Amino acid sequence: MPNALAAKGGQRVSVVLPARDEQNTVGPIVATIREYLMENAPLVDEVIVVDSRSVDATAQVAREAGARVVSQDEMTRGLPRLEGKGDALWAGLAAASGDVVAFIDADLQEFRPHFVTGLVGPLLADESIAFVKGFYHRPLVRAGHVEPDGGGRVTELTARPLLNFFWPELAGFVQPLAGEYAGRREVLERVPFVSGYGVETALLVDLLELVGLDALAQVDLGERKHRHQSTEALGRMSAQILLTVWERLYRRGHVTAPRPPATTLTQFRRGGGDARPALDRQILTTDVTVAERPPLIQVRDRMPRQSPSMQV
């Protein structure tokens, strides 16, 4: 911590948490950042929670813990409505004032300050670094059984093979889908943000092309504990990552169409009142199309001015 403070100088540091229905975890994360990184040591200048259309008390809990809470919809007022985590991240970047901006998922359990210091430290200490990605062990708890590294299922089954095949320069990133990362705002404002779960994949690919591999770094953050999504939800996440990769392959001339032949994902859920008799399963169809916000620098003059009325 002393080294990070010494390296900070006059730079401002923002921490952004995108949050949808995270009332159980967002408060302790914000309170930890405020106590250890704002009050005890002035490393972080602001902590922002982007309320992503929560229907629970996420915004209230975050505000009471000491965060500045902004609405995803208010920050993107006047622009097309988009869904997903990537849009909330983009809104958080627009709301942040820091020279260095760190993004932290709001569902982390047993959060510790090193999640922030580990990400921003390299950026403060080395001006050649533009972006820092976190990696960690992700235990998966199921029926009382713990798999020490079982939490990265979409990474191993979807993201890593795609990146290894098409962007082998990124093969060395341990967890390309990690939700904890930080970057220089001047760089982050120059890349688009995919609206859905393809955002982390898109950021790595786009930043590789913008600043080069030598400006990208990763840091070991130890262990990450959080709630896990169902296999069904992970299937939809994987589909959005595939679409994100497809669009970037199109931009490089490796595929001839901007979108694949179909963007609807069909899944089957066992049982339920709407189960088909012959299948004993419900048929679920989801449009997994991903959109993206343009680089923030292109639309900065169209963004709403920040004011107390913007807080929710």
Burial (CB < 10 A; 0-12, 13-18, 19+), residue 28, is middle
The Cα 282–Cα 280 span in angstroms is 7
The Cα 22–Cα 14 span in angstroms is 20
End-to-end CA distance of the chain: give it in Å, rounded: 32
Q: Identify any residues that bridge with 84 across adjacent strands, giving them in sequence order.
A: none
Give the pLDDT confidence of 159-210 residue by residue, as tens digits: 999 999 999 999 999 999 999 999 999 999 999 999 989 999 999 999 999 9
Beta strands 281-287; 46-51: pairing state? unpaired
* HSE (side-chain half, CA atoms, 13 Å) at 198: 28
Buried-exposed string 186-198: b where 16+ CB fall within 10 A, e elsewhere: ebbbbbbbbbbbb
Q: What is the mean pLDDT of residues 102-122?
A: 96
Out of 135-144, 152-161, 263-272, least confident range: 135-144
Give the pLDDT confidence of 66-93 residue by residue, as tens digits: 999 999 999 999 999 999 999 999 999 9
The band of 150, judged by pLDDT with boundaries at 50, 70 and 90, is low
Task: Please tell me the predicted confidence (pLDDT) of residue 277.
Answer: 80
Nearest to 198 by CA among 89, 296, 95: 89
Which pair of structure tokens corresponds to residue 80? 């097309």
Confidence (pTM): 0.91
Q: Show the 3-state SS of the chain.
A: CHHHHHHHCCCCEEEEEEECCCCCCHHHHHHHHHHHHHHCCCCCCEEEEEECCCCCCHHHHHHHHCCEEEEHHHHCCCCCCCCCHHHHHHHHHHHCCCCEEEECCCCEECCCCHHHHHHHHHHHHCCCCCEEEEEEECCEEECCEEECCCCCHHHHHHHHHHHHHHCHHHCCCCCCCCCCEEEEHHHHCCCCEECCCCHHHHHHHHHHHHHCHHHEEEEEEEECEECCCCHHHHHHHHHHHHHHHHHHHHHCCCCCCCCCCCCEEEEEEECCCCCECCCCEEEEEEECCCCEECCHHHHHHHCCCCCHHHEC
Give the gyration radius of the chain's Cα atoms. 19
Nearest to 13 by CA among 96, 95, 130, 88: 96
The band of 154, judged by pLDDT with boundaries at 50, 70 and 90, is very high
Asked if pLDDT for residue 127 goes beyond 50, the answer is yes
Task: Please tell me the predicted confidence (pLDDT) of residue 141.
Answer: 60
Mean pLDDT, rounded, of the chain: 91
Which pair of structure tokens corresponds to residue 293? 């916000």
Which pair of structure tokens corresponds to residue 87? 């849009």
Give the pLDDT confidence of 252-311 residue by residue, as tens digits: 999 999 999 999 999 999 887 778 887 889 999 999 999 999 999 999 887 765 544 344
The Cα 96–Cα 90 span in angstroms is 10
Nearest to 113 by CA among 218, 13, 18: 13
CB 231 within 8 A of CB 158: no
Nearest to 46 by CA among 99, 3, 98, 122: 98
